[in-house]
Amino acid sequence: MGTITKALGLLNHFSLNHPEIGLIQFVKLSGFDKATNHRLLSELAINGFVEQDSLTRKYRLGPSVLRLANVREITFPARSVINPILEDLVAATGETAHASLLQSNILTTIAHKEGTTHGTRVHIDPAELIPLHATASGLAVMAFAQEALTKQVLASDLKSWTNSTIVDRAQLVDKIEDTRASGFGGSNQGFENGVYGIAAPLFDKNQTCIGAIAIATPTSRQSEQLDALIKKELAKASRRITHGWGGIIPGQMEAVWTHV
């Protein structure tokens, strides 16, 4: 593992529940030596990717991520395109929606909005990285991205998140083919127990699949009617988002999405 990946990997330990992390905590989380962690964090701090609380000496995400996100968002609007459409999606379905973008062979959550439905609703941690083989979004992306991506995933070890996670390679290939035929990825408790997800792919200006938009519902509320509604809304949202950032929906999608 390269030094850069080690350093950047430390940033993934920050989340809603762990917004500030001390040096010793990083040792436990990362498994690297204390001196190594300290040097990685110091270099991240010089570059503004983390900053230290002036009193507690704990580390948190630094101002550079804000600046870079700002620059990216001004030059390649993604969150600003997605957010209003997520609102509509939640309004139409009552369920939690989230959008994620492909980063090599994992998905990065870039926007989410929790459902409005009474009582139970799916909670999402925006810091979480999403595995391709275990989620609806991942299936949607693998089905419509380059073949090489699926090969990479099949070559990696398929971690089991729940006892419903698909870890059998042949079964996964089948699932991806189903997804390609229907235009929607679906995952029943593959990543989190009690959560059922449906997802549609998102495309860039080269008709390359670069991410997915998904809706997550508690399994208790699963029904054919809700499924149909969600698919209709997801296809609409995928078109709006893709066009919103100047992307093009490939012809094959128009063919499979005609029935929804």
Residues that bind a second copy (CB under 8 A): 2-5, 7-9, 11, 14-16, 19, 39-40, 43-49, 51, 53-55, 60-76, 78-79, 101-104, 106, 108-111, 126-127, 204, 206, 208, 211
Q: Is the CB of 3 or the CB of 70 nearer to DNA?
A: 3
C-beta of 36: minimal distance to DNA in Å? Answer: 4
CA–CA distance, 186 with 129 (Å, rounded to integer): 18
Q: Is the CB of 27 or the CB of 226 nearer to a second copy?
A: 27
Radius of gyration for the chain, computed over Cα atoms and rounded to the nearest angstrom:
19
C-beta of 8: minimal distance to DNA in Å? Answer: 11
40 lies in the site for DNA, by CB under 7 A: yes
Beta strand pairing status for 185-188 and 59-61?
unpaired
Q: What residues contact residue 12 under an 8 Å CB cut-off, 6+ apart?
A: 127, 129
Binding partner of residue 58 among a second copy, DNA, none, CB cut-off 5 to 8 Å per kind:
DNA
Binding partner of residue 36 among a second copy, DNA, none, CB cut-off 5 to 8 Å per kind:
DNA
Cβ distance 215 to 97 under 8 Å? yes
Q: Is the CB of 216 or the CB of 230 nearer to a second copy?
A: 216
C-beta of 128: minimal distance to a second copy in Å? Answer: 9
Strand, helix or coil for residue 210: strand
Binding partner of residue 44 among DNA, a second copy, none, CB cut-off 5 to 8 Å per kind:
a second copy
36 lies in the site for DNA, by CB under 7 A: yes
Residue 43 DSSP one-character state: H
Strand, helix or coil for residue 216: strand
CA–CA distance, 146 with 133 (Å, rounded to integer): 15
Residue 11 DSSP one-character state: H
**Token duo for residue 116:** 């409005």
Residues lying near DNA in the complex (CB under 7 A) are found at 1-4, 6, 22-25, 32-36, 38-42, 52, 57-58
